[in-house]
Structures are given as C-alpha cells and as structure tokens.
Structure 1
Amino acid sequence: MFPEGHFFLHVLYGLTWVELGMRAPVGERFAALREARWALEELDSPTGRAPFSAELTPPYGVFHRGWSNWLRGGVLSLQPAGQRDAGEERQFARDSAELGAAFDASSSPYLESYPGQAWPVDSTVAIASLRLHDLLLPDRFGRTVQRWLREVQERLDPNTGLLPHRVDPGTGQPTEVARGTSQSLIQRFLIDVDPAFAASQYSRFSNRYITSPLGLGPTVREYPYGMEGPADIDSGPLPLGVSLPASVVTIGTAQVHGDARLAAALAGVSELAGVPIDTPWTKRYALGLLPVGDAFLAWSKTARPWVAKVPSPPPTSAVSAWWRVPLLSLLMLCSAAPWLPALVWRHRRRHA
C-alpha cells in the first residue's frame, strides 16, 4: 500500500522483540535476539532496500539507515557488555559513523529520505540512534547531537513551535505544518535525544493535537486545532480530522513520556475502534486486514525509552480521568436499544 510497507513491518517486529527481550533475564533472550536479527537481515535485503536510493548520503537515505541503526543498537542492547557479538558491534559503529558524518557535512539538520525529499521524523530516529551508540559504546557523537538540536530549534514550524512535517532538503526550512502522523513518532524518539527539549515539545503536541471527537475518547488530530488539510497514505482517512495511525503510535509516545493516563485511554479506544479478533493463539486488529497496524500496536504497547529514563508523570494529562463516561453511556444506550420496543409494549399492556 505504500513503499516502506515491507521495511516498516519488519523493523517494528524486530523492535518489539527487542522491547520484550529487555524485560527478560539475560539468559532468556535467545528468542528475542533471533527474531530481532532476522528482522534486521530483512531490512538489509534487496527487498528491504528496494524503495530507497543508493545515491543518497548516506546510501539508501536517512529513513532506511536511521531505523536500521536503531534496531541494530537494540540488538546490541540485548547482549551484556563484554559478551556482545564483535561483528555486530563493529557494524553498529561503522553505520553510526556514516550517519554522524552525513549530519556533520549537511547544511540542514534533516537529511534526505528520498532524492529531493526530507522529513524531520526520519532524522530524529537517526539522531536517537547516535545517542544509543554513545550509551553502548565510547562517546563519539555528542557534538553532532548538540549541533543538530541547535539547528532544529532554529527551524521549528512557526504555526505550532514543533518540528515540521516536511522541510526543504537544502535548507531545512519548514514547507509543511507539523502533523500528527509524524509528531507521534518524533515525540517517541526525541526523549532519547534530549529529555528537556522533548518535554516541552510533548506538551505542545498534547495541547494542539489530542482531541476527543464527540466526547467519545481521546484520539490524535492530523492537523493542529484550527487547521484542516488533506489525508494521505500515511495519515489514512481523517474522520472528524482524526488520524488512526497517529492515535496508535501515540500510545507508545505517551508511555515513554510517563503519561500513563493518556496511553491507557488511547489503548482503550483502540480496543473498541480496532475491531480486534481473538483466537487461542493470536489477536488481530482491523479484522486482520492490515498487519502493519498490529505491528504498530505491539511496538507502541511495549514502549519505553532506551537512552533516557522514563520521566515523572506530567502534572496534567491531555485526557480527563472521566474520559470513559460518555463512551460507556453511549455503549449502554446502544445495548439497551434492542430492548426498548419490548419494554414499551410491556408498559402499554400493563397500563391498559
């Protein structure tokens, strides 16, 4: 359905296994390592690289290289220091160096994902992978990250004060307003780049994009309050301005920012709107028609920071503690509706 579908499905699968492996004792991580390594091989396969250009800097672009490097660092994170696979460690160091050199040589903080096209979210993932490198291996990219942060803060979207959705690849200046589909991912990774900057960005995102259409539970707008725009393949359809993919990804975003109330509310809404089908062995959302949606949900529900610490809960959440009341009231009315004719008939008979 979209060019990165194969890549995204496999990288999310691998990252979710890394998350599960991190929760297991060191001696019980074999399955997580096996599956995450298999996913990483798929990213580097001809099929995984097919949508991307080898002529970019770095080769195959920052989308492919950033996500791949993040997963590669996750694979190393599952291995105790001193017992890591030497080849994987060298590859992670080489790929990180290539990304760091590309950022250092660029006049824009946002590298190209495709020829002539740059999205800030892709560079945010790549920069987070450099921070992960400096956590696992000797510190090397501190200056690169600090320069990136300074240049990003000079090029924020003037409408929202957030990282924009799309930028001019030569200058890094915004060409499209911040949007929910990319913000949900940016906020997920930005905390591992700079927790203080991430906290201020998350607050802006929550205030401008979290909504409760018809009062029936929190979701995420694709465009900020007061602005409408077209849907695309990333956002999906936009009923009442809401992006379902952004709402799913924000489950994980809220978790890494310590906003447990919003994460739980979004997960609750997904259990209703996602139309899940359970079997004794599986659970599939959207009637099993969009496996990448299941992958995003699994990755979101296992989210936590890899470099930073989980922050304290924010003083106020974007969702009320009473968010369930309107939704449950509507569900109760729907459940009672089939019985109303019988109740009316019984009442009339008794009255007669």
Structure 2
Amino acid sequence: MRLRRLAAVFVSLCALTGMIRLVVPATAGVTGEPIGVRRQLAFLRAALDDGAGQDAQGLYPEGYFFLHALYGLTWVELGLRGPAGERATAVREARLAWRQLDSPQGRAPFSEGLSPPFGVFYQGWSNWLLGGVLSLQPAGQRDRGELDRFAAGSAALGRAFDASASPYLTAYPGQAWPVDSTVAMASLRLHDTLLPPAFTGTVQRWLSGVRQRLDPRTGLLPHRVDPATGEPAEVARGTSQSVIQRFLGDIDPAFAREQYLRFRDQFVVRPLGLGPAVREYPDGVDGPADVDSGPLPLGVSLSATVVTIGAAQVNHDAPLSAALANYGELAGLPLDTPWTRRYAFGLLPVGDAFLAWSKTARPWVAATPSPPPAGISWWWRLPLLSVLVFVGTVPWLPALLRRRRAHRPG
C-alpha cells in the first residue's frame, strides 16, 4: 500500500511539474533574460571542455563548428541584453568560441579553394560571431586586430557576392544552400552598422536576385539551389527556413515580414491538436528525414521547432515563441542543478546550444518590428493541461473509490 501511494505521489508531482512548465514563461522577449540560459551555458562550457565539440563532429559535418558558434552567439545575445559595464564575461566567452572557429579544427570540414575561402557557410557564421564580439565592446575600445579581421572577412564575402551570377554562394564544392548566404548577408549588414557602410549595393543586388528565385510552391527561399544559377533545386524546408527567418529581418525588414508570415502559415502546425510544432516540409508535402531534420514524427522536425522559437522572437511574434518554448519545457525533460540546466538529460549538447541561442534571439541590426497578427492563442495549452490533470488524478481513483464504498450506508 505504501509503495502504491508513493507511486501515486510521484506521478501526480510529475503531472504538476508539467502543468507548471506549460504556463510559466520560458522566454523573455528581446530585452529580458530567459530563466535558465546561463545555467545552460555553464553546462555547455563544461561539455565543450570535455570534448563535446569533437563528439558533435562525429554526428554531422559541421558539428564542432556549430556547437562552438552557438555557444559564442548565445553569450553575445546575453551580453547585448545587459549594461555595457557588465559584458566582460560575454566578451571573453564569445571571443573564445570565435577562436575555435578560427582554428585548423574549425576549418577542417571546409574547402579553402571556394569563393570566399572555405565557403559561405564558414565565412558567414564566423563573420557574424566576430561582429557580435565587436558589438559587445564600446566603439573606442574594440580590439584592432578583430576589427581588421572583421573588415577583411566582410570584404571577402562582398567580393564573392558581387562576382557571382547567383545570390547563393557555395558552402561545399558544387553545393549551395540559401540559408548560408542569408547568414553571410546579415553579417554584411552588421558590418555597415559597426564600420563605415560599404555593402549597400551588394545587399540590394542580393535581395533582387533572391526575389527572382523563390521556391514556386511556397513563395519562400528554397532549401537547396543550383550552385551555378541559384535556381531552386528543392522545396523550402523547415530546418533552413527557421534559420532564414531568424536573420532575414536584419537584412530587409519588409521582405522579412512577408516571408515570415508565409513560413508560419505553411510550416507551423498542431499535430494531434496539441502543442505547436514546425514541419520539415510544407503542409501537404512529405519527404525524407536527414541529419539536419532528425526523425520526422508526424512530419515534424524537432530541430526546426526549436530554432523557430528564435525566429518568432526576432519577428516579435511573442505568442508563437512563448508557445513553442513552453511546449519544449514540457517535452524537453529539462534537468536542473543549482549550477547547470540541460535538456533530454544532456545527451545531445548541440540541442541545448540551439535552444539557448533561440531563447535569447533579438535583432542585431534592424529595429524590433511591430507584432504580426497572432497565429496562436493562449488556449492551445488547454488540451495538454487536461491530459496532465487526468494523469495526475488517475493514480488516486482506486483509493477514492474504496473510501467511498467504505462510507456507503449499509
């Protein structure tokens, strides 16, 4: 009897915890600091020190690079939210991450013979992180060597875009994905806010070329393109769109609003009528999973769902970013200690890195846009709350029935 009662208490506490995670805010908009992100970064720093970057490299080609890049970018995001006098830790950690990208191990998967050298994926993300490090420092106190590297990296990207017949540069020999060029173009916009403007024409030509080569089915940037012409070779997909929507607002806010609403209409769904999630393929289209999307239960990509938290937040879509984050708090099984926080028991640190980066998203170049029309209401939580109430109550029903029978007259 005692074991049965302990089991009932445990189940009810789990259900109550789930209910709390569904309703307590898990994001903080573009100004506050999300609860738990610093403890996530503490977990990630320890994991990186223990070789998590090398482990991630064994999972997919950019694992080492991405884990360090996202760690550094999250520190930039946190630093930008706080007073300038309290940014020393953010500068130190973001700079440390950038130096890992700027190392032989960080460059190992990429080809130096591309234009720009090592490809647009490597140069775009590296340049964006280095620009973030500079953004954390007062204008008169920025490191001269870092300024020169940022200017040189931006110039290399600008030359490559200006010389290309396609708006989409190659990341690997003979392969081009629009998401990579979107990140690189955002870094050129960041350059023109930190240093004398030099890439206005490059940005405008890029936008013109992009508008001429949208995916005909969705009206969005395609997932993959012909590297020579930039013509769509694959329909828009959630894993790349979630990142594109994070960066596009810093390039052209009006175009970004149009693209974001298209993305939300065609990719954000509620499988089984429960919490919001993001499909890997547009609604009505099915396709295979890959290393980027992960498994696709009911067509949903968990990685795209996590990254869309940041895309929604940058686009000032607070209802969607909050809903996705709360659903993640329920499904992600966060494990807390006084010093760290990890999700899914910390088995995949790169997942924690994407989540921390997404929860701290904010525009770096453009002003925060006006909110779009709401696409989801608070009441999406009601079915899940009902399920949790039921789960938390069921273990006590036998005891309640026994008690009722014991007090029945006769």
CA distance in structure 2 between the aligned counterparts of 1:344 and 1:174, rounded to whole angstroms: 63
CA distance in structure 2 between the aligned counterparts of 1:347 and 1:176, rounded to whole angstroms: 63
Q: Note if contact 1:11-1:39 (Cα within 8 Å) is conserved in structure 2.
A: yes
CA distance in structure 1 between the aligned counterparts of 2:403 and 2:86, rounded to whole angstroms: 62
Q: Which has the larger radius of gyration?
A: 2
**1:259-297: per-residue Cα shift (whole Å, max 9, x none)?**
111111100001011111111100000111010111111
Q: Which residue of 2 aligns with 1:20?
A: 78
**Residue among 342, 345, 370 paired with 1:312:** 370
Deviation at 1:84, TM superposition (A): 1.3
Q: Does 1:131 align with 2:189?
A: yes
CA distance in structure 1 between the aligned counterparts of 2:251 and 2:345, rounded to whole angstroms: 37
Q: Does 1:155 align with 2:230?
A: no
Greater shift after overlay, 340-349 or 302-311? 340-349
Q: Note if contact 1:183-1:205 (Cα within 8 Å) is conserved in structure 2.
A: yes
**Residue among 212, 237, 248 paired with 1:179:** 237
Q: Gapped runs of 5+ residues in structure 1?
A: none
Q: Note if contact 1:215-1:327 (Cα within 8 Å) is conserved in structure 2.
A: no
Root mean square deviation, CA, Å: 1.1
Q: Note if contact 1:187-1:253 (Cα within 8 Å) is conserved in structure 2.
A: yes
Please show how residues 191-270 of structure 1 align to structure 2 within 5 Å: 191-270=249-328
CA distance in structure 2 between the aligned counterparts of 1:288 and 1:13, rounded to whole angstroms: 15
Amino acid at match of 1:154: Q
Q: Gapped runs of 5+ residues in structure 2?
A: 1-58
SS of equivalent to 1:329: helix
Q: Does 1:333 align with 2:376?
A: no
Q: How many residues align?
A: 351
Q: Does 1:293 align with 2:328?
A: no
TM normalised by structure 2 equals: 0.84
Q: Does 1:120 align with 2:181?
A: no
Amino acid at match of 1:81: A
Higher relative contact order (CA 8 A, sep 6+): 2
Q: Which residue of 1 aligns with 2:46?
A: none
Q: Does 1:106 align with 2:164?
A: yes
Please show how residues 67-82 of structure 1 align to structure 2 within 5 Å: 67-82=125-140
**1:123-179: per-residue Cα shift (whole Å, max 9, x none)?**
000000000000111110000000000000000001100000011101111111100
SS of equivalent to 2:183: helix
Amino acid at match of 1:309: A
CA distance in structure 1 between the aligned counterparts of 2:206 and 2:403, rounded to whole angstroms: 72
Amino acid at match of 1:109: P
Q: Which residue of 2 aligns with 1:140?
A: 198
SS of equivalent to 2:170: coil
Q: Note if contact 1:253-1:300 (Cα within 8 Å) is conserved in structure 2.
A: yes
Q: Which residue of 2 aligns with 1:92?
A: 150
Deviation at 1:95, TM superposition (A): 0.5
SS of equivalent to 2:233: strand
**Residue among 275, 278, 285 paired with 2:333:** 275
Amino acid at match of 1:91: R
CA distance in structure 2 between the aligned counterparts of 1:115 and 1:281, rounded to whole angstroms: 43
Deviation at 1:253, TM superposition (A): 0.7
Amino acid at match of 1:135: T
**Residue among 355, 361, 378 paired with 1:321:** 378
SS of equivalent to 1:82: helix
**1:21-69: per-residue Cα shift (whole Å, max 9, x none)?**
1122222211111111110000011111111111111111100000000
SS of equivalent to 2:140: coil
SS of equivalent to 2:175: coil
Q: Note if contact 1:210-1:318 (Cα within 8 Å) is conserved in structure 2.
A: no
The percentage of counterpart residues that share the same residue type is: 71
Amino acid at match of 2:394: A
Deviation at 1:339, TM superposition (A): 2.2
Amino acid at match of 1:200: E
Q: Which residue of 2 aligns with 1:62?
A: 120
SS of equivalent to 1:175: strand
Amino acid at match of 1:140: A
Q: Note if contact 1:216-1:323 (Cα within 8 Å) is conserved in structure 2.
A: yes
Amino acid at match of 1:312: S
CA distance in structure 2 between the aligned counterparts of 1:99 and 1:46, rounded to whole angstroms: 20
